[in-house]
A and B are shown apart, each in its own frame.
Chain A
């Protein structure tokens, strides 16, 4: 049995289903991310694990003990909020000492642990400050130190980085990974940002309408999205419609008729001939046919400089819009409004099960 076992968790608010029977197993020491758009149930699941939301059905078992009916204060989990939720009337030191005082630790032990935690997050110089005298990133570190001070069995993080600006967010991502490594605590992290999820997680659980629709390592989810929704939500993918002709064994897509590639499963991947496919932006190149590639004609509708390269938007012959990302400098010949030839390797086209 896994360290944390969540079984068939259900929660409804009137007619609105927040959690529609969620199963999730988390191993000890894992960094798992709950990823999904707002309202998909990821925060509801996190707050159910924390104990603030009582599920209608199902249970939560931690290390063999059923914690479903325990009050939040009795669960011994750490929780970090989006707005950090520091105690505004207490200094940094007293914020971190709070969970230790309520656990009736000895004064000396509290002082030592607070100092160690503040050193761990690099705030030992600011112990006497009040939260409002700190920057967002510093407040975030206090919240982490406070939630980790009592060595909780789980650390739950509810979109903790979404209020920070981009550069600070990357620093805090590294910081979180380091804290995860150094403390060995199991992290459950909620976000709607797929890049954040990719950068930090051992595994990602993708949420849609109160259910987990796919769970796996970041690379697996990126390479093999399980559904149209996942393929669209995790980013970098072009979703396209294609048609399969059983008589000839060919696919018509991108305005071309091509032989169905090896990994296209005739039985699985089409419904009455309709096929959902996806191509990653970086797998489309500019240029004519080459061995192992299929080429197709498009019209350029936009060019955008994105720093590391350019993102080109094009329209295909069968009226699909595609985005492709190419290295800077390779797009010199691209003119908005002009025709262009692109190519793709058929074995890199992904096929989705019908929804």
Chain B
């Protein structure tokens, strides 16, 4: 090992200690609790599978996450596609606007959506006064409201991931397609889309993993009617004190996400995304 490498290694030690002490160790604690609390054995895991309430929570989580991911990736692709076509100056402004939500607390964003979506909120008032509807629509405190809030939260991440990928695509390949006689729709479906698959897959994976763990947004916009895993865990831990069930469910979710990532990494497009954008 050279002097430089020894120094570099030494510099990683504090971060490693923090990560192990505050992250890896608690995870093992969770794992241990799931087998030990309230009494040693697989009881917690067995009870998970027979429990109808937990089944509902898991199903809600999956449905909401999949819908959020699908909507987020499609909308983000449209925005990212528009951004990479812009001239440099406008592109900077657009990216700045995409990042604005990052500065606003997730709590504030959730309550803003309530103001907009509730029965006598901004949207329903406008639609009623315009004569488009006679009765206010139920836009919040249900799955729809939760998905709106989550899509809004995830969009900037997905947009930035896709802009990075779409911006890397060699424009000469697009020009080549046009010079060969491909009309705009053909260029999009046959060239842009296949070349952006690595970006799309990484944005999808990122969004779905994030969505599975959402707590604040579904709690506020769902108002207890759209119960997702994170909120369920929080209730088990802080209110009902069923730590065994909560830790077992956390462990299962961690394993599920791990399997999802491992499975995704087997796909060539995903490997390309991590290997530098080669399709």
List A residues at the B interface (Cβ < 8 Å). Answer: 50-52, 71-79, 81-83, 85-89, 98-99, 102-103, 132, 146-147, 150
Q: 5 more A-B contacts (CB under 8 A) besides A79-B175, A99-B182, A102-B181?
A: A73-B180, A73-B182, A76-B181, A88-B173, A150-B180
- The closest CB in chain B to the CB of A158 belongs to B172
Residues of B within 8 A of A83 (CB): 170, 172
Q: Which of B173, B179, B186 has most chain A Cβ within 10 Å?
A: B179
CB <8 Å contact, A77 and B191:
no
CB<8 Å pairs between A and B, sample of 26: A50-B175, A50-B179, A52-B179, A72-B175, A72-B179, A73-B178, A73-B179, A73-B183, A73-B184, A74-B181, A75-B179, A79-B175, A79-B176, A83-B172, A85-B173, A85-B175, A85-B176, A87-B176, A87-B177, A88-B173, A88-B278, A89-B195, A98-B190, A102-B182, A132-B278, A150-B181
Residue in A85, A88, A102, A150 whose beta carbon sits within 8 Å of that of B186 in the complex: A102
State whether the Cβ of B194 lies closer than 8 Å to any Cβ in chain A: yes
**A79 partner residues in chain B, CB cutoff 8 A:** 175-176, 179-180
Q: Is the CB of B176 within 8 A of A81?
A: yes
B279 contacts partner chain A, Cβ-Cβ < 8 Å = yes
Are B177 and A98 within 8 A (Cβ)? Answer: yes
**Contacting B172 at CB < 8 Å: which of A72, A78, A81?**
A81
Across-interface contacts of B178 in A (CB, < 8 A): 52, 71-73
User: Known contacts A72-B175, A73-B183, A76-B181: does B279 contact A89 (CB below 8 Å)?
Assistant: yes
Chain A facing B: main interface SS: loop
B interface: dominant SS: helix
Which B residues are within 8 Å of any A CB, using their own CB? 170, 172-173, 175-184, 186-187, 190-191, 194-195, 278-279
Task: Tell whether, in the assembled complex, residue A77 and residue B179 are in contact, meaning their CB atoms are under 8 Å apart.
Answer: yes
User: Which residues on A sit within 8 Å (CB–CB) of B279?
Assistant: 88-89
Question: Which A residues are CB-close (under 8 A) to B184?
Answer: 73
9 closest residue pairs by CB, A with B: A79-B179, A99-B180, A85-B176, A85-B172, A72-B178, A89-B194, A89-B279, A102-B182, A73-B178
In the bound assembly, the distance between CA atoms of A276 and B278 in angstroms comes to 54
In Å, the complex CA distance between A213 and B17 comes to 70
A146 pairs with B195, CB closer than 8 A: no
Chain B contacts of A132 at CB under 8 A? 278
Residues of B within 8 A of A75 (CB): 179
Within 8 Å by CB of A52, from B175, B180, B278, lies B175
Residues of B within 8 A of A147 (CB): 179-180
Contacts of B176 in A (CB 8 A): 79, 81, 85-87
Once the chains are docked, how many angstroms separate the CA of A339 from the CA of B185? 72
**With A and B bound together, what is the CA distance between A73 and B190 in angstroms?**
15
Chain A residues, CB < 8 A from B170: 83, 85
* Chain A minimum-CB-distance residue to B179: A79
User: How far apart are B116's CB and chain A's nearest CB, in angstroms?
Assistant: 42
Task: Tell me how far the C-beta of B177 lies from the nearest C-beta in chain A, rounded to whole angstroms.
Answer: 7
List, in ascending order, chain A residues with CB within 8 A of B177's CB. 87, 98
B175 nearest CB neighbor, chain A only = A52
B186 — nearest CB in chain A belongs to which residue? Answer: A102
- A75–B186 alpha-carbon span in the complex (Å): 16
**Shortest distance from the beta carbon of A79 to any chain B beta carbon, whole Å:** 4
Closest to A82 in B: B172
The CA of A132 and the CA of B278, in the complex, are separated in Å by: 10
Query: How far, in angstroms, from A86 to B195 measured CA to CA in the complex?
Result: 12
Residues of A within 8 Å of B194, CB to CB, are 89
- Distance of A52 Cα from B178 Cα, bound (Å): 9
Min CB distance A159 to B, Å, is 12
A88 to B192, CA, bound (A): 11
Collect the chain A residues with CB atoms within 8 Å of residue B191's CB: 87
Cα-based distance from A83 to B179 in the complex (angstroms): 15
State the Cβ distance, A78 to closest chain B Cβ, in Å.
7
Shortest B191–chain A CB gap in Å is 7
Cα A195 to Cα B178 with chains together (Å): 31
List chain B residues, Cβ under 8 A from A71. Answer: 178
- For B174, give the chain A residue with the smallest CB separation: A85
Q: Are A78 and B179 in contact (CB under 8 A)?
A: yes
Q: Chain A's nearest CB lies how many Å from the CB of B184? A: 8
